[in-house]
Amino acid sequence: MYQHVVLFRYGQGVGEDVHRRIHDYAERIRSSLDGIVSYAYCRNLNAKSADYPYAIVAAFDSVESFAAYAAAPIHRRLVEFSMQYIGDIAIHDFDSGAGPVGSAEGDAAWQGVRDRLKALMAPEDYETYYA
C-alpha cells in the first residue's frame, strides 16, 4: 500500500472558510478517484507535534493509483488553493510493503518504487515531488 502524508501549518489569517474548502476538496478526492483506500484532512491531536498541526493523510492501493491522484485536476486544484495559506510543509511518502527499512532488501524495494513513480508520472510532477 502506498501512503502519502502531508504535514503542515498555516500562515496567518486562516479561518473556518479555508478549513471548509480544504475539507470539501478532500471529500471530493476521496469520492471521485479510484484506488484511494483512505483520505483525510485532519488536525493533530498530539501536543508534542505542534509544529505541524494539520495533515492530509492518504493511503492508495498502489503506486499507480497515487500517480493518477497526483496528476488529477482535483488534486492540482487542492494544491493550488491550499499552498497560498500554508506557511510550512513536510511530505512523507512510502510504500508500506517495500521491505525492512535500512536493509538491502528494503533499499532495493524503495528504489524500485521510485523508479516506478518516475515511469508513471509526468516529468514535472515527478520533479515536484521526488527530485
Q: Which helix (H) or strand (E) holds 61?
A: none
CATH 3.40.50.720 fits 2-97, yes or no: no
> Do the Cβ atoms of 3 and 95 come closer than 8 Å?
yes
Please tell me the distance from the alpha carbon of residue 70 to that of residue 59, in angstroms, as a whole number. Answer: 13
Question: Which pLDDT score, from 0 to 100, does residue 51 have?
Answer: 86
What is the full per-residue pLDDT of the chain (131 aa) written as tens digits?
999 999 999 998 899 999 999 999 999 999 999 999 999 999 999 877 768 999 999 999 999 999 999 999 999 999 999 999 999 999 999 998 887 888 888 889 888 988 999 999 989 888 887 77
d(CA 47, CA 56): 18
104-120 and 123-130 helices, crossing angle to 10°: 140
The confidence score (pLDDT) of residue 61 equals: 96
Question: What are the sequence ranges of the domains in the chain?
Answer: 2-97
How far is it, in rounded angstroms, from Cα 89 to Cα 55? 9
